[in-house]
Amino acid sequence: MSSTGLQGLERCQIAFFGTSGPKIKRFTKRGKRLMALKPMLLGLAMASAASILPAGAAQLTVGFSQIGSESGWRAAETTVSKSEAAKRTVNLKIADAQQKQENQIKAIRSFVAQGVDAIFLAPVVSSGWDAVLKEAKEAKIPVILLDRDIDPSGKDLYLTAVTSDSVHEGEVAGDWLAKTVGDKACNVVELQGTVGASVATNRKKGFDTAIAKHANIKLVRSQTGDFTRAKGKEVMESFIKAEAGGKSICAVYAHNDDMMVGAIQAMKEAGLKPGKDILTVSIDAVPDIFKAMVAGEANATVELTPNMAGPALDTLMAYKEKGTVPPKWIQTESKLYTSADDPQKAYDSKKGLGY
Ligand code: AHR
């Protein structure tokens, strides 16, 4: 969701959404199906449901089309989504799309065919969703976007989007760099996220806007690293080769921490000192970037909470139970962490969270 996309929309700023949602009624669709079963079959059906669901049984079934597992942040989002659903006795069905939009479209169609109560979608790219989301809308299945946005043409096809302001994240990264280098000339290389992903477009836009105010800071190279460590390392190696063995690079900006961890490795293998010879600023705040900060090899990161599902589930439950229509955008917090912010403590607080 870009800042510009906010115009005319209601904003709801949240840091942490409550974890326990209101209780909701059982849904008649499933209730009717159960009533039609003979008593013995009913007993069997209930026993088998009890074996896979926590006490109290699931009240809602939500299909989640997840992008894949390209980064530590993504792994944590999947883990946190499962635990947030379990806390609310929601039956969450996760479909891993392995980074492919076509798999996400298939998963959405399958969730519609199954008659789930809602669909959560983390859209790998921003375009190409209108047809399938229309099918969900016609089936009266609400869709909630998690962590990434879709093109404005699809605005009426989803209930709400739980995302950060990814333009702002880029601005925070750019402002930090400008403040850190002061008047010194600084050539920057950029590792972009997945081409066509809203967060990649927006994080670039925000950073470009922030550094445009400082004539001494120049973006000299920019290429996608697809949000992965391996690609981040590979692209950084090519940047180093093209920039006099890295000597003409003053800073790296990566759209996520995983690419930065790969880039740090590339710098070290080239005999450079990341965090000192070349400054680093990235996004996500995963434990490994704090480990790198403790070692003096990374400088700054902008936090993206992996808990998008908690707010989405609370919103969905309020919508289903009371008809509460949420704002079109539920914005999560973006906080800057630098090596001055006790990275060891940040690492300790995050390391067991599924990253
Ligand atoms: O959409 C959020 C981004 O997707 C995260 O910053 C990145 O790590 C992930 O792959």
- In the three-class reduction of DSSP (H, G, I as helix; E, B as strand; rest coil), residue 116 is classed as coil
Is the pLDDT confidence value at 266 over 90? yes
* Residue 331 and residue 164 in contact, taking contact as beta carbons nearer than 8 Å: yes
Closest C-alpha to ligand 1, atom 4: 74
Ligand 1 centroid–CA 9 distance in Å is 24
Q: What is the mean pLDDT of residues 64-70?
A: 97
Write down the pLDDT at residue 58.
Answer: 56
Work out the widest C-alpha separation in the chain, in whole angstroms. 79
Whether residue 9 has pLDDT greater than 70? no
Ligand 1 centroid–CA 180 distance in Å is: 25
Number of the ligand 1 atom closest to the C-alpha atom of 122: 1
CA of 199 to the centre of ligand 1 (A): 8
Q: Which of 111, 104, 107 is nearest to 140 (CA)?
A: 111
Per-residue tokens: 238: 């090519």
Q: What is the pLDDT of residues 129-186, one digit of tens each?
A: 999 999 999 999 999 999 999 999 999 999 999 999 999 999 999 999 999 999 999 9
Q: Using alpha carbons only, give the angle 291, 296, 300 rounded to the nearest 5 degrees.
A: 75
Low-confidence winner among 27-31, 105-109, 211-215, 288-292 (lowest mean pLDDT) = 27-31
**pLDDT for 39:** 34
- Average of per-residue pLDDT across 230-249: 98
**Which residues have C-beta within 8 Å of that of residue 259, sequence separation ≥ 6?**
191, 193, 225, 227, 228, 229, 231, 232, 235, 282
- Going from the Cα of 30 to the center of ligand 1, the distance in angstroms, rounded, reads 35
Strands (E), the chain: 11-13, 60-66, 90-96, 118-121, 143-146, 160-163, 186-192, 217-224, 251-254, 279-284, 300-304, 329-331, 334-338
Query: Percent of the chain having pLDDT more than 70?
Result: 84
Q: What is the mean pLDDT of the chain?
A: 87
pLDDT of residue 352: 86
Instruction: Name which residue sits closest to atom 2 of ligand 1, judged by CA.
Output: 147
At residue 25, does pLDDT exceed 70? Answer: no
Q: Which atom of ligand 1 is nearest to the CA of 257?
A: 8
Alpha carbon of 74 to ligand 1 centroid (Å): 6
- Residue 345, judged by CB atoms within 10 A of its CB (0-12, 13-18, 19+), counts as exposed
- Most informative mutation of 65, 66, 67, 74 for ligand 1 (most atoms within 8 A of CB): 74
User: 227 C-alpha vs ligand 1 centroid, how far in Å?
Assistant: 7
Name all residues whose Cβ lies below 6 A of ligand 1.
70-71, 73-74, 147-148, 199, 227, 256, 258, 283-284, 304
